[in-house]
């Protein structure tokens, strides 16, 4: 910790907004980043496997592919996004030229999570740098192999006055948050998000908080149950359920519950075989603390499937819980693991009661062939992002803003939304001097009556 603090003090004093580095130079840095990642793909995938046995396919699809997509978009669009935008002037300022400039914030702190430790660290960092900021990244200490790779990548690609990685645990994060930053980007849990927001408020620092919540998945009686089961199982069990936008619990119409449960079990075993602990495609829980937290949720619950625990391997079998109480251990907080409670309903009031029992979720999923009903329910509830007839895939469309509401977060990013997050709009008005109408200057005399007559010109 002491060494990290000393490095931080020296490095933060050295960091500066590098907007003087032109857009083309930043694009060249992004190309260098992409090339470096491509040349070290295997090391990155090996690090992800070492941290929690994430398969190479899943690592490439959920970490590298998403990163390449973001880099390519910024390389293609950065010049266009960075140009000043001309806006119509007001008659009151005639003659003038009015612009909106996109200005980098300056020194940015990015605190990254452990569940997707590469892409959820590198993507906000590359966006912030592309926008003209300098960045200090604090990777998660819970995924040390990936954290080491992140340090290697960023220090190899970017000058240290533009990007620097500080390793460490909670003490390092606490120290970082005591410093004054121009912007803070945090991805993680709701409790820590509140700590970050409080620390940022001390310096009136703007923040983006990407948090989580209990994401409901509604399955009505009209749903294509086979497709629903396949897509729910995939969205829930990718990364062993350690995904902030994964379905957290199912609300299924009572008359189709039994059939859905059978299909869910079939899909689990089709994806990972009956010997799931031996599947090369099924990851592990990140550490013993999270394993114990998840194991506790299974106490005193009726299980429809699963429940096997292998503590020495940090393995938790995909598990379906039958009709837990809304105040039970499994329903208190975001599960963040391969445990899926299933609750049945008979009418919309029960759905509404269950969802509104919890703070606004990060995601909401509805499976229904009744398009009118699905759209109505999407409008009914507050959430960060929603999908009809699928799960989690809204994350990959960079044209959609990604972010939460209330307890599930504040601020949005991905694609151009990342550009807008890591810059602020600066208004610039250029008045001409070839004419200067006297109307606005005192003495005002009887100008008030004239102003009232022409007010429609200015409003």
pLDDT score at 2: 46
Rounded mean pLDDT of 20-27? 88
- 21 token code pair: 């580095």
- 64 token code pair: 């590298």
- Classify strands 207-210 and 183-187 as parallel, antiparallel or unpaired: parallel
Rounded mean pLDDT of 111-137? 97
Distance CA 326, CA 348 (A): 17
Distance CA 176, CA 337 (A): 29
**Residue range 41-76, pLDDT digits in tens:** 999 999 999 999 999 999 999 999 999 999 999 999
Q: Report how many helices (DSSP H) and strands (DSSP E) the chain contains, helices first.
A: 17, 18
Helices 23-39, 119-130: axis angle to 10 degrees equals: 160
| 19 pLDDT more than 90 | no
Rounded mean pLDDT of 296-318? 96
- Is 6 assigned a catalytic role? no
**Residue range 221-241, pLDDT digits in tens:** 999 999 999 999 999 999 999
pLDDT score at 370: 97
| 11 pLDDT more than 60 | no
Q: Which of 58, 63, 70, 210 is catalytic?
A: 210
pLDDT score at 454: 84
> Where do the domains of the chain lie, and which CATH numbers do they carry?
2-211 (3.40.605.10), 216-403 (3.40.309.10)
Among the ranges given (20-29, 159-168, 201-210, 268-277), the one the predictor scored with the smallest mean pLDDT: 20-29
pLDDT score at 440: 87
| pTM, 2 dp | 0.94
Q: What is the 3-state secondary structure (H, E, C) of 282-317?
A: CCCCCCHHHHHHHHHHCCCCCEEECCCEEHHHCEEC
pLDDT score at 131: 97
When pLDDT is cut at 50, 70 and 90, the band that residue 455 belongs to is: confident
Residue 96 sits at the vertex; the CA angle it makes with 94 and 100, to the nearest 5 degrees, is 135
pLDDT score at 8: 54
CB 186 within 8 A of CB 158: no
pLDDT score at 453: 86
**Residue range 238-267, pLDDT digits in tens:** 999 999 999 999 999 999 999 999 999 999
pLDDT score at 6: 55
Using only C-alpha atoms, what is the Rg of the chain? 25
- 299 token code pair: 């106490």
| 129 pLDDT more than 60 | yes
Higher-scoring residue by pLDDT: 454, 406 = 406
Q: Which of 70, 217, 244, 329 is catalytic?
A: 244
DSSP 428: E
| 425 pLDDT more than 80 | yes
pLDDT score at 459: 67
pLDDT score at 21: 76
Among the ranges given (257-266, 319-328, 442-451), the one the predictor scored with the smallest mean pLDDT: 442-451
| Letter string b/e over residues 342-373, b meaning 16 or more CB atoms within 10 A of that residue's CB | bbbbeeeeebeebbeebebbbbbbbbbeeeeb
**Residue range 366-389, pLDDT digits in tens:** 999 999 999 999 999 999 999 999
pLDDT score at 147: 98
- Is 131 assigned a catalytic role? no
- What whole-number percentage of the chain has pLDDT above 90? 90
| 445 pLDDT more than 70 | yes
């Amino acid at each position: 910790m002491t060494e990290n603090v000393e490095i931080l003090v020296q490095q933060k004093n050295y960091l500066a907004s590098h907007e003087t580095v032109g857009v083309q130079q930043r694009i060249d840095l992004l190309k260098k980043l992409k090339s470096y990642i491509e040349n070290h793909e295997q090391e990155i995938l090996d690090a992800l496997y070492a941290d929690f046995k994430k398969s190479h396919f899943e690592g490439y699809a959920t970490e590298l592919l998403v990163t390449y997509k973001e880099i390519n978009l910024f390389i293609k669009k950065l010049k266009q996004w960075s140009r000043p935008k001309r806006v119509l002037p007001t008659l009151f300022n005639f003659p003038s030229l009015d612009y909106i400039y996109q200005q980098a914030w300056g020194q940015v702190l990015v605190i990254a999570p452990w569940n997707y430790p590469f892409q959820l660290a590198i993507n906000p960092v590359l966006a912030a740098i592309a926008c003209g900021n300098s960045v200090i990244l604090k990777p998660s200490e819970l995924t040390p192999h990936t954290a080491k790779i992140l340090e290697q990548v960023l220090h190899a690609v970017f000058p240290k006055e533009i990007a620097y990685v500080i390793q460490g645990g909670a003490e390092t994060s606490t120290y970082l948050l005591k410093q004054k930053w121009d912007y803070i980007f945090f991805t993680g849990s709701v409790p820590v998000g509140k700590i970050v927001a409080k620390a940022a408020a001390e310096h009136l620092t703007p923040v983006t908080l990407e948090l989580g919540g209990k994401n409901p998945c509604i399955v009505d009686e009209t749903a294509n149950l086979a497709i629903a089961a396949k897509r729910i199982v995939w969205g829930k069990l990718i990364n062993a359920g350690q995904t902030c936008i994964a379905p957290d619990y199912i609300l299924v119409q009572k008359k189709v519950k039994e059939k859905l449960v059978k299909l869910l079990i079939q899909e689990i075993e089709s994806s990972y075989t009956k010997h799931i602990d031996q599947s090369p495609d099924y990851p592990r829980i990140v550490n013993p603390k999270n394993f114990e937290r998840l194991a506790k949720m299974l106490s005193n619950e009726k299980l429809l499937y699963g429940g096997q625990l292998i503590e020495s391997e940090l393995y938790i079998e995909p598990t379906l819980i039958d009709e837990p109480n809304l105040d039970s251990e499994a329903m208190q907080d975001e599960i963040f693991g391969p445990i899926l409670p299933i609750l049945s309903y008979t009418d919309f009031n029960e759905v509404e009661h269950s969802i509104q029992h919890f703070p606004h979720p990060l995601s909401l999923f509805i499976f229904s062939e009744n398009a009118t009903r699905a759209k109505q329910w999407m409008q009914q509830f507050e959430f960060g992002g929603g999908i009809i007839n699928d799960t989690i895939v809204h994350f990959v469309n960079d044209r959609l803003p990604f972010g939460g509401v209330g307890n599930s977060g504040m601020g949005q990013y991905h694609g151009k939304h990342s550009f807008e997050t890591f810059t602020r709009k600066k208004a610039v008005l250029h008045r001409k001097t070839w004419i200067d109408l006297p109307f606005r200057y005192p003495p005002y005399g009887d100008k008030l009556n004239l102003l009232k007559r022409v007010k429609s010109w200015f409003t």
